[in-house]
Amino acid sequence: MIRSGISAIRRLSSAPGNSSFFFRQLFDHESSTYTYLLGDLVSKECILIDPVLEQVERDKQAVHQTGLNLKFAINTHVHADHITGTGLLKKSTNCKSIISKYSGAKADIYVEDGDNIEFGQFALTVRPTPGHTNGCVTYVLESQKCAFTGDALLIRGCGRTDFQEGDAATLYDSVHAQIFSLPDDFTLYPAHDYKGWTATSVREEKLYNPRLSKSKEQFVEIMKNLNLAYPKKIDVAVPANRVCGIQD
Ligand SMILES: N[C@@H](CCC(=O)N[C@@H](CSS)C(=O)NCC(=O)O)C(=O)O
Ligand SMILES: [Fe+2]
Q: Which atom of ligand 1 is found nearest the CA of 192?
A: 9
Provide residues with CB under 6 Å of ligand 1.
31, 79-81, 151, 157, 159-160, 192, 194, 228, 231-233
pLDDT tens digits, residue range 49-102? 999 999 999 999 999 999 999 999 999 999 999 999 999 999 999 999 999 999
Among the bound ligands, the one closest to the CA of 78: 2
Ligand 2: centre distance to CA 151 (Å):
5
Ligand 1: centre distance to CA 231 (Å):
6
Query: Is residue 115 a part of any domain in this protein?
Result: yes
How many distinct structural domains can be found in the chain? 1
pLDDT tens digits, residue range 109-155? 999 999 999 999 999 999 999 999 999 999 999 999 999 999 999 99
Range of the domain at 174: 19-228
Which helix (H) or strand (E) covers residue 28, if one does?
strand 21-28
Query: Is residue 163 a part of any domain in this protein?
Result: yes
Query: Is residue 221 a part of any domain in this protein?
Result: yes
Query: Is residue 10 a part of any domain in this protein?
Result: no
Spatial CA neighbour of 75 closest among 39, 36, 40: 36
Query: Is residue 168 a part of any domain in this protein?
Result: yes
Query: Is residue 141 a part of any domain in this protein?
Result: yes
Q: What one-character DSSP code corresponds to residue 139? A: E
Cβ 63 vs Cβ 225: under 8 Å: no
Query: Is residue 242 a part of any domain in this protein?
Result: no
Q: What is the CATH number of the domain that holds 35?
A: 3.60.15.10
Among the bound ligands, the one closest to the CA of 171: 1
Q: 245 in helix, strand or coil?
A: coil
Query: Is residue 166 a part of any domain in this protein?
Result: yes
Cβ 76 vs Cβ 108: under 8 Å: no
